Amino acid sequence: MWTVVANATQVKKQSGVIITTHSMEEAEALSTKMGIQVKGGVFKCFGSTQHVKNKFGTGYEIEIKLQTLNDEELTAMRRKLQFPLDQERMNLQNVANALQQAGVDMNILKELTPEGNGSDLANENIDRGDVTITASLQWLHAETFGLAFNYFLAREFKSAEILEHYSNYFKLRVPRGETTIGYAFGIIEEAKNTYRISEYSASQTTLEQIFQ
């Protein structure tokens, strides 16, 4: 259906189509102009997607991808945490015990479950009986810097929420307040080396978030 509507209105440009939908993804993908009705028919706004976001958006979505540890950093981290240099696989519980003894935040370690952010490691340990130390340290690195960046955003924007997270990717949401999108880009650019960020983007909240 999306292809048919797009061809009729944007490619051939021979006609216009009015679509009613509850899906903001559909509306943003297909529409050049958008109107939103709330409370059973009250016309709330009309304009381009960006106009509606500028007027009614309440926050920013920030996506980051963290750098991974290189070989030298992995070796240094092994030594710091007292993992053996000549062994690559260990039972996950032994890994967790070593990290706990090294003073790693328990809020991070408690995620080493099939339901937590460390589910890949937990499931590998269930299947094989052990995990690689390299994967464990890469996971710890991502969790540590990802959470630290979340706390940083919470200080800058008064609050921050992690919407999605897997491996070294984080998607977060912060309130807009009196700030601009340029301000959001600026503080991320200044902080990217501190928090080991390799890629990032920032955008205003989607229409679905505005009117949900």
How many whole angstroms separate alpha carbon 50 and alpha carbon 206? 10
Answer yes or no: is pLDDT of 212 > 60.
no
Instruction: Please give the pLDDT value at position 180.
Output: 87
- Which whole number is the average pLDDT over 98-123? 95
- Cα–Cα distance, 50 to 61 (Å, whole number): 15
- Mean pLDDT, to the nearest integer, of 57-83? 93
What are the pLDDT digits (tens) for 32-54? Answer: 787 777 666 676 677 776 666 65
How distant is the alpha carbon of residue 159 from its chain centre?
Answer: 15
pLDDT at position 5:
65
Cα separation, 131 vs 9, in Å, equals 53
Q: How confident is the model at residue 204 (pLDDT cuts 50, 70, 90)?
A: confident
Is a pLDDT exceeding 80 seen at residue 16? no
**Mean pLDDT to the nearest integer, 54-63:** 77
**CA gap 77, 144 in Å, rounded:** 13
Determine the average pLDDT of the residues in 151-170.
95
The pLDDT of residue 56 is above 70: no
76 pLDDT band, cuts 50/70/90, is very high
- CA atoms of 117 and 111, how far apart (whole Å): 5
Burial class (CB in 10 A: 0-12, 13-18, 19+), 8: middle
User: How high is the mean pLDDT of the chain?
Assistant: 86
* Predicted TM-score of the model (pTM): 0.73
